[in-house]
Chains A and B, each alone.
Chain A
Amino acid sequence: MSIAEEPVTLQEPAASGRSLWQDALRRLRRNKAAMTSLVVLCVMALASIVGPAFWPHPYDRVYSEYVRVPASLEAYPKEDRIVPEMERSLKRARVAIGEISLKGDTVHATISDEEEIDPRITRYVDRSDLFSNARLAEKTADGKGAVMVADVARLRFIAGTDGNGRDLFARILMAIRISLAIGLLATFVALVIGVAYGATAGYLGGRADNVMMRVVDILYSLPFIFFVILLVVFFGRNFVLMFIAVGAIEWLDMARIVRGQTLTLKRREFVEAAEALGVSDAGIVRRHIIPNVLGPVAVYMTLLVPKVILLESFLSFLGLGVQAPLTSLGVLISEGAKNMQGASWLLIYPSIALALILFSLNFIGDGLRDALDPKDR
């Protein structure tokens, strides 16, 4: 009779209803790893969305003079390059060179000559790629001495630049945006198809279930790459195609998981009670089956996002993914891998970004699983 021997029950129900989801959220909030991951992920997502608008370098701008420069907090060009360049320019102008100093974005050189200095010599300086807006200042009374002032375009590449001279940090921001978008959207596609298909198959059972699941088996046996190449051949290379291709593969797993859950749910008495009330099959799937499978599905989803990001990297690596100048973490890493010896930063920074995303999603997934753990209530 008394089947459950609980420790003294907290029989006084709380003032307002607390759903299982709210309960789970509360437990999730106490999970430090998951919450930290959530914050990290949100910061990264936000940075990737608004970051490029504020970042001084567009992700596709080519700085041909700074090809593959290493990551540095110091601005380019560096002082040890500016000073000799200035000397060289002034030598061409045939003036005697005094002290050359760098003050912020301007370079100052004291010059002198036997005759009066011709103001046109600023051209020699302007001719160099580094300097612009050269002008003479602090002319002495006799006009034989002056200070040559020129602006220097100083650029910071905190993550270095790639083989084409594009700012790596801007590209990473863009790549995070693309990878997260593909991860989330493809997962969403997989979720919608998988949950609907799996719940229907599981709930209908019998022959319908058999047929539907055999279809899944057949689709499983299609090689993924073959399938993607086929899509590319028919529809051409297209960003949206990525979502469809990945989502269309990943829903198979989702459908199996949901079907399994549905089979156990179907035998629960509340489903039978709904049948006895005359609720239609569609109604039962919608009201009873799907809300109850969402727990495991949410967990699977957080683990699916990193999987999709990796899949996309793989496709991009093969050249079937996103097209330049657009980029994704997979593309960046594969380029980095090629330049590992000469330009390690090309591999390190995108890898850190990817690792952070994957860790965060996995921790969130673990946290969700613990929070939703139906140690039954």
Chain B
Amino acid sequence: MERAARNETPTGDGDIDPAGTVLSVRDLKVSFALADGTVEAVRGVDFSVASGETVAIVGESGSGKSQTVMALMGLLASNGRASGEALYRGEDLLRLSPRKLNRIRGDKITMIFQEPMSSLDPLYRIGRQIAEPMIFHRGVSARAARARVLELLKLVQIPDAERRIDAYPHELSGGQRQRVMIAMALANDPDILIADEPTTALDVTIQAEMLRLLKELQERLGMAVVFITHDLGIVRRFADRVYVMQAGKVVEEGRVDAIFAAPKDAYTKMLLAAEPEGTKPPVPASAPVVLEGRGVSVSFHIGGGLFSGDPFELKAVDRITLRVRQGQTVGIVGESGSGKSTLGRALLRLIPSRGEIAFEGRDIAGLDLRRERPLRRQMQIVFQDPYGSLSPRLTVGQIVTEGLLVHEPQLGRRERERRAAEALREVQLDPAMQSRYPHEFSGGQRQRIAIARAMILKPRLVVLDEPTSALDRSVQKEIIELLRKLQRDNDLTYLFISHDLAVVRALSDWVMVMKDGKVVEEGPTEEVFAEPAQEYTRRLMAAAFLTQREGEAPAG
């Protein structure tokens, strides 16, 4: 594997000076023609990439960082237009005919995308998908291509490559698929590899492995990497130089260490400071218990239909016991598939479960729909995706007051509007926005609306199901502050579900670590973060804080 890789090392050795610039972009502008006029996504960006270096482009959503590289690759949406100049070895990518551009992209400049699930065609075996660019660009024979594919799969460290080469994408895990994507991108020894948020959709432990792999490959193959991300931790760890983008412009650029040591631009400073901070003091042991679950299990029956084969039972949550006290924030962490969201829904009685669940000492597990309704007032939930959790056909006012219609049907319209205004003010939104529709708001604003919908009922317990995961870091910080304030003001109890350890550490005073439906470790936040007892927890933390400030121990 080593040898094979070395044989293939950089193609560019002969014709360019290793420190020379391979890609230089001048005054790149990208605009989109929309119904309401044109929107300028990128407004004059300059950057350059030297051969073999890692350049990061950092920015929050909407900063135009993805559109910048999409324009280079000729992948803009049909209503998009790019102007400026992007020289790759003397050729202007923006002015090449599609045929000439195709000779370069997928060959000399390749790209990996955020979603490994959707960037592979489910109908073809991965071996064939990786071989395709080789056969297309190099005219390699099928047999030679297969040998090369095998080599590449080993290079990206896919276990059991001989067998995996004939697998279909759905047979691979998310991390493996992303490795396949990388193998595909490496197939023709590119000069430049563009990685557009390649780790965002992956679990932390896999994220860390992936970054390590990319770094290794780059050192071995000597290509330049353009890394697009919103995660400053990754930048700090992996990039040589960084461009910080905001609203379509580069606001700051320079060497990574220099920028992290002394950021000049206010926006960069804000980004750097956007890591969640603070801790939550534990509640006294005498605080009353709000929610108690004993032996809570949730299982899904799969199959068992007439034609769907033998039934089997998937235990998503397996005999979990927990106790949540008044004013407490219990953090539930785990990777995807660990059952943490299912547990949250089971405790709210949104899905059927076995075991005992008691709310304020009263058993609620066996209640029917009608007797359960008053409980809904006391227990609320905020969801992860602020885009999916608000009905697009209702106004903000209608969304926020929906609970009032159920629990206080006697209220008149005026009174409901007053309460909605109050709730919106509580989440720091302008109450005048009541008559607008959700699609007119940003992600952070929508999440505030979702929180207002839960808060208007004055609940005792709120389950927060990854409420910050879909948001930018800076917005995340605001939401965390808001949640803290609401908890203080209303003496709320939170069940905080997240895969983001940094956020959990900042917000909760008790942590439960879940894996495969079971709790592997739990305890006061400080203790768990300072000395994780279980191997799994340690691995999770090592991966999560890999991207944190270097040298700083991940202590509470």
Contact = CB atoms under 8 A, between A and B. Distances in A.
B266 interface: no
B62 interface: yes
A14 to B, nearest CB: 7
Interface in B383-407: 383-385, 387-396, 402-403, 405-407
Nearest to B375: A278
A7 B440 contact: no
Contact of A16 (B384, B387, B436): B436
A5 interface: yes
Contacts of B247: 8
Contacts of B40: 8
B423 to A, nearest CB: 13
A215 interface: no
B39 A7 contact: yes
Interface stretch (A115-123, A188-196, A284-292, A330-338): A284-292
A11 B442 contact: yes
Contact of B436 (A13, A26, A280, A377): A13
Interface in B416-446: 433, 435-437, 439-443
A11 B439 CA distance: 10
Interface stretch (B3-11, B256-264, B466-474, B541-549): B466-474
Interface stretch (B64-72, B158-166, B287-295, B317-325): B64-72
A199 to B, nearest CB: 14
Contacts of A8: 39-41, 62-64, 247-248
A80 interface: no
B457 A17 contact: no
A279 B406 contact: yes
A222 interface: no
Contacts of A13: 433, 436, 440-441
Given A3-B470, A4-B387, A7-B64, A276 B442 contact: no
A264 to B, nearest CB: 11
A291 B398 CA distance: 13
A283 to B, nearest CB: 7
B472 A2 contact: yes
Nearest to B66: A5
A278 B402 CA distance: 9
Contacts of B435: 16-17
B236 interface: no
Contacts of B63: 8
A287 B383 CA distance: 19
A283 B406 contact: yes
A20 B433 CA distance: 16
Contacts of A268: 388-389
B436 A287 contact: no
A1 B470 contact: yes
B457 A277 contact: yes
A292 B390 CA distance: 12
A326 to B, nearest CB: 41
B60 A2 contact: yes
A9 B442 contact: yes
19 contacts: A1-B231, A1-B472, A2-B230, A2-B472, A4-B387, A5-B67, A9-B62, A9-B442, A13-B440, A18-B436, A20-B393, A269-B383, A269-B384, A269-B385, A272-B350, A277-B380, A277-B402, A277-B403, A277-B457
Interface of B: 30, 32, 34-36, 39-41, 60-67, 80, 197, 200, 230-231, 247-248, 345, 348, 350, 372-377, 379-381, 383-385, 387-396, 402-403, 405-407, 433, 435-437, 439-443, 450, 453, 457, 469-473, 476
Given A1-B476, A269-B389, A278-B406, 18 more contacts: A3-B200, A4-B443, A5-B61, A8-B63, A8-B64, A11-B442, A17-B395, A18-B440, A274-B391, A276-B350, A276-B380, A277-B376, A277-B403, A278-B372, A278-B407, A279-B402, A291-B391, A377-B439
**A-B CB proximity, top 3 nearest:** A278-B376, A7-B41, A2-B61
